[in-house]
Amino acid sequence: MMYRIIADAAMVVHFAFLAYLAVGGFLAWRWRRTIWAHLAVAGWGLLSIVTGVECPLTVIEDWGRRNAGLAGLPAGGFIDNYIEGVIYPEQYTNLVRLGVAVLVLFSYVGYVLRRQ
């Protein structure tokens, strides 16, 4: 039971991480110090896309699922299991990534303009 809770908690934190990646820059418009956390999150997101490095949250969720007697995550991990083909069709992956990048850049431009 505890392993299942760990796996589910990792999944929820992963969704929250992705939501913060998309809109966290806008939170910095109000709470300026959060820009540093968002820069770290955006950097990690970019690193994982460019290098394919596996997210620790994916590792934790997979570990929890396997120890709970459930099937592990598929080879593509969290994104392939919960996002691609579920929230948007796989053929739009690059378009979605571009949209998130534009959203993040827009939030940073707004952050800089609001600081002045």
Residue 40 and residue 87: Cα distance in Å, rounded? Answer: 25
Of 102, 71, 68, 77, nearest to 14 by C-alpha is: 77
Expressed as residue numbers, the domain containing 105 is 2-115
Would you say residue 75 has pLDDT above 90?
A: no
Q: What percent of the chain has pLDDT over 70?
A: 100
Domain tally for the chain?
A: 1
Q: Are 22 and 29 in contact (CB under 8 A)?
A: no
* Each residue's pLDDT tens digit, 5-48: 999 999 999 999 999 999 999 999 999 999 999 999 999 999 99
* Each residue's pLDDT tens digit, 94-105: 999 999 999 999
Q: Provide the pLDDT for residue 104.
A: 97
The whole-number average pLDDT for the span 103-111 is: 97
Residue 83 and residue 3: Cα distance in Å, rounded? Answer: 23
